[in-house]
Amino acid sequence: MLRRSLLALLLLPLAARADDDDQDRARAAVERGEIRPLSRILAELERRFVGQVVDTVLDRDDGRWVYEFKLLPPSGRMYRVKMDAATGAVTETRGPVQERR
């Protein structure tokens, strides 16, 4: 138990650094005009889909920046939406997607 706790404490700075690197990468991509700011993409997502965003990832997919969101609607059945980070277009959905009418 103690060994596991010590290992977690040793790895914590590595996880924090990885998060900082991701934020720096995203900020630089916005400044270069390669992607839209997350706030704009989230506004579009919330306008179009039902549910609370519970996870967000920015990643490269086939050479393009993609935001991937996990949403939890009132039904409780989580679904995913991928959006092109440069255009805001929905590129993929998975699960029981709920669009607003």
pLDDT of amino acid 10: 52
pLDDT of amino acid 18: 46
pLDDT of amino acid 39: 93
65-79: per-residue pLDDT in tens?
999 999 999 999 999
**Residue spans of the chain under pLDDT 50:** 1-7, 9, 14-18
pLDDT of amino acid 101: 85
Closest by alpha carbon to 80, among 56, 62, 48, 44? 56
pLDDT of amino acid 22: 73
